[in-house]
């Protein structure tokens, strides 16, 4: 079976001459949960925008679900690849949540009952059923981000690309957002999200792709990538605090540690205190 | 020494609000202090900054009780111009406050508007760029800068006004890790080397505990916890109930010590990975982990 997403020697040069992607080769299978990290300007967003045709390869090929994106219109690609902008306010333009979420299906010229069903389903998935008649601009930033996700979900895309889902949010809203994305991944969506939040990456992503200066620097499981502390440093990224702490005693913690819970579990085991782990969340 | 910021029994309700955005806030900031403010969305963090820089009540009206004084000036009865000579604010989105095309124009803009003489403006411009380490960006167009560079231009533009206090409203949330480090390093240096008081709103607890003299946690318009970083971290269950997370090394070290029945005294709570390393080493060796 063809991968869900495949880039072969993908280059992008912006009209101003900036060479943003230098021959990306990557393959992502259906159902994966991938975080894309890297400095601002490293090519993360440029790469993702090729998946639904918002940007076109200036060299190389992008295939989605086995078919080349080529010159297929964004409106067609949007049924397969949903893209949520970094700032939900760049995307939201209707005066009610309902209209915003219905906008895509209306443009697909679906039947009114089908549109209604998709909006109800999408709002339920993001937990905003009670807000369908609200003006999106009266909602909190975390809620507006959910509206943006619902507006993409109503198109029934196989792939969800979410650009910085936690930026500008407090910790709780950030975790809620990632839990929602996790749930959508478990429901079968292939998920790519761009972020600078390393603890969130460690907690949620299964695979990590690190961009630097238009190239892929590292690509592997979250554990594998966070082992490469020295390589990550070259692009000013750093694993979570707890990963650093465990590395200081790597004779005791031979496997990369990604969360406080893992670290506690392994420490209790070392200290033969297994029975105590039950009390720690 | 008198406080640079003094907030007494401050309660404020926006004109169209249904309940107060801030309730009975009391707080003092000494000259040269570094103060971190955190809390969930809607807790009143931005409103509190607005009450200090004078945006409230001079631009946003409402029902204000209590007093806010900055360098001895009562904010409510002082002019915005007088306040601007003492306190400057940096916002979340640097593009929101930039008014010029180039870096030098932006940094000179404030003093030009005050009618500061030309030679003096040049001097302030040079010093402000130097203090934020962006001398090399002087002639650059702002639109070509990275987020971390833009925020340092915004800080520089405030420095040229020779303020005693800089307020920052979540200045690193849109920055990548390197941009965040650049901004916090610049703030720490301004604070330590030039005695400028810093009041910063942020969700980045790792940076706040590392840099702040005191941390204020707001929740539903009230001060929930207020103290030195180690004191604040010691109340992690209260913080958790407000949706605020302590840094991972704090969470881990406190949980481990509790499980071992050896609660950690507040003054020993680690604030960084470096501080947590010897604590963990001690436990591993004392408990003969892996037979060492």
Q: A171-207 burial, b if ≥16 CB within 10 A, otherwise e?
A: bbbbbbbbebbeebbeeebbbbbbbbbbbbbbbbbeb
Instruction: Please state at what angle helix B248-259 crosses helix A241-248, rounded to 10 degrees.
Output: 60
**Closest alpha carbon within chain A to B255:** A280
| Predicted confidence band of residue A277 (pLDDT cuts 50, 70, 90) | very low
Among A150-159, A270-279, B12-21, B61-70, the range scoring the smallest mean pLDDT is: A270-279
Which pLDDT tens digit goes with each residue over B234-254? Answer: 999 999 999 999 999 999 999
Nearest-CB residue to A249 (from B41, B173, B280)? B280
- Look at A167 and B174 and tell me if their CB atoms are within 8 Å: yes
Nearest-CB residue to A196 (from B146, B177, B289)? B177
Touching B: A residues 15-44, CB under 8 Å: 38-41
Q: How far apart are the first and last CA of chain B?
A: 53
Q: Which of A260, A269, A274 to mutate to test the interface with B (most CBs of B within 10 A)?
A: A260
Specify the pTM: 0.90
**CA-based torsion, A166, A171, A172, A175: positive or negative:** positive
Q: Is B82 on the interface with A (CB under 8 A)?
A: no
Please, what is the Cα angle at A267 between A266 and A271, to 5 degrees?
A: 120
Residues of A in contact with B259 (CB under 8 A): 264, 268, 273, 276, 279-280
Which pLDDT tens digit goes with each residue over A103-129? Answer: 999 998 999 999 999 999 999 988 999
What are the extents of the domains in chain B? Answer: 5-229, 247-292
What dotted CATH number matches A1-80+157-237?
Answer: 3.40.50.300
**What percent of chain A has pLDDT above 90?**
76
What are the extents of the domains in chain A? Answer: 1-80+157-237, 88-156, 240-273
CATH superfamily of B5-229: P-loop containing nucleotide triphosphate hydrolases (3.40.50.300)
- For A253-265, what is the mean pLDDT? 94
In the DSSP assignment, the letter for residue B175 is S
Q: Which pLDDT value is given to residue B178?
A: 86
Residues of A in contact with B283 (CB under 8 A): 267, 271
Answer for the pair B142, B109: CB distance below 8 angstroms, yes or no: no
- Of residues A50 and A278, the one with the higher pLDDT is A50
Answer for the pair B165, B87: CB distance below 8 angstroms, yes or no: yes
Residues of A in contact with B251 (CB under 8 A): 260
Q: Is the model's pLDDT at A276 over the cut of 90?
A: no
Q: Which pLDDT value is given to residue A228?
A: 93
- For B189-205, what is the mean pLDDT? 94
**CA-based torsion, A55, A56, A61, A65: positive or negative:** positive
| Predicted confidence band of residue A278 (pLDDT cuts 50, 70, 90) | very low
Kindly compute the dihedral angle of the four CA atoms of residues B141, A194, A45, A165, in this order, to the nearest 10 degrees. Answer: -80
- Look at B259 and A260 and tell me if their CB atoms are within 8 Å: no
Q: Is the model's pLDDT at B164 over the cut of 60?
A: yes
Which pLDDT tens digit goes with each residue over A207-236? Answer: 999 999 999 999 999 999 999 999 999 988
Which pLDDT tens digit goes with each residue over B52-80? Answer: 999 999 999 899 999 999 999 999 999 98
Residues of B in contact with A242 (CB under 8 A): 248-249, 252
Strand, coil or helix: B118: helix
């Amino acid at each position: 079976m063809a991968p869900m997403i495949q880039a072969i020697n993908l280059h992008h040069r912006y009209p101003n001459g900036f060479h943003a992607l230098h021959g990306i080769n990557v393959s992502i299978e259906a159902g994966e949960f991938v975080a894309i990290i890297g400095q601002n300007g490293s090519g993360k967003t440029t790469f993702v925008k090729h998946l639904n045709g918002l940007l076109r390869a200036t060299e190389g090929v992008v295939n989605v679900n086995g078919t080349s994106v080529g010159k297929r219109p964004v409106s067609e690609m949007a049924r397969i690849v949903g893209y949520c902008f970094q700032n939900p306010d760049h995307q939201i333009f209707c005066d009610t949540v309902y209209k915003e979420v219905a906008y895509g299906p209306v443009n697909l010229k679906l039947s009114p009952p089908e549109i209604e069903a998709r909006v109800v389903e999408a709002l339920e998935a993001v937990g905003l059923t009670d807000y369908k008649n609200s003006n999106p601009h009266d909602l909190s930033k975390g809620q507006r981000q959910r509206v943006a996700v619902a507006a993409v979900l109503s198109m029934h895309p196989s792939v969800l690309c979410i650009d910085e889902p936690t930026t500008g949010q407090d910790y709780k809203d950030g975790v809620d957002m990632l839990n929602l994305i996790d749930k959508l991944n478990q429901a079968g969506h292939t998920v790519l999200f761009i972020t600078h939040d390393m603890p969130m990456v460690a907690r949620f992503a299964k695979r990590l792709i690190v961009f630097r200066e238009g190239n892929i620097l590292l690509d592997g499981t979250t554990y594998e990538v966070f082992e490469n502390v020295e390589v990550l440093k070259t692009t000013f990224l750093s694993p979570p605090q707890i990963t650093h702490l465990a590395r200081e005693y790597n004779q005791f913690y031979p496997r990369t540690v990604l969360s406080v819970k893992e670290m506690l579990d392994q420490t209790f085991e070392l200290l033969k205190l297994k029975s105590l782990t039950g009390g720690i969340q | 020494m008198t406080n640079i910021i003094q907030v007494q029994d401050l309660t404020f309700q926006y004109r169209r609000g249904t309940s107060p955005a801030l309730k009975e806030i009391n707080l003092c900031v000494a000259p040269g202090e570094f103060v971190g403010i955190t809390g969930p969305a809607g807790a009143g963090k931005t409103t509190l900054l607005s009450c200090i820089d004078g945006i409230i009540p001079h631009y946003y009206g409402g029902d204000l009780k209590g007093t806010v004084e900055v360098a001895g000036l009562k904010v409510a009865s002082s002019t915005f111009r007088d306040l601007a000579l003492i306190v400057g604010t940096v916002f979340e989105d640097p593009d929101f406050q930039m008014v010029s095309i180039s870096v030098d124009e932006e940094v000179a803009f404030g003093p030009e508007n005050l009618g500061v003489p030309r030679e003096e403006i040049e001097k302030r411009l040079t010093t402000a760029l130097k203090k934020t380490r962006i001398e090399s960006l002087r002639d650059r167009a702002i639109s070509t800068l990275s987020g971390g560079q833009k925020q340092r231009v915004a800080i520089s533009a405030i420095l040229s006004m020779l303020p005693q206090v800089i307020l920052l409203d979540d200045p690193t949330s849109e920055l990548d890790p390197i941009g965040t480090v650049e901004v916090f390093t610049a703030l720490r240096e301004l604070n330590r080397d030039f005695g400028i008081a810093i009041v910063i709103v942020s969700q980045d607890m790792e940076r706040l505990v590392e840099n702040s003299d005191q941390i204020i946690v707001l929740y539903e318009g009230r001060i929930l916890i207020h103290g030195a970083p180690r004191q604040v971290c010691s109340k992690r269950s209260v913080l958790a109930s407000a949706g605020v997370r302590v840094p991972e090394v704090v969470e881990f070290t406190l949980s481990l010590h509790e499980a071992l029945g050896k609660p950690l005294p507040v003054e020993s709570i680690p604030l960084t990975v470096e501080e947590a390393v010897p604590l963990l080493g001690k436990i591993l060796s004392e408990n003969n982990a892996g037979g060492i």
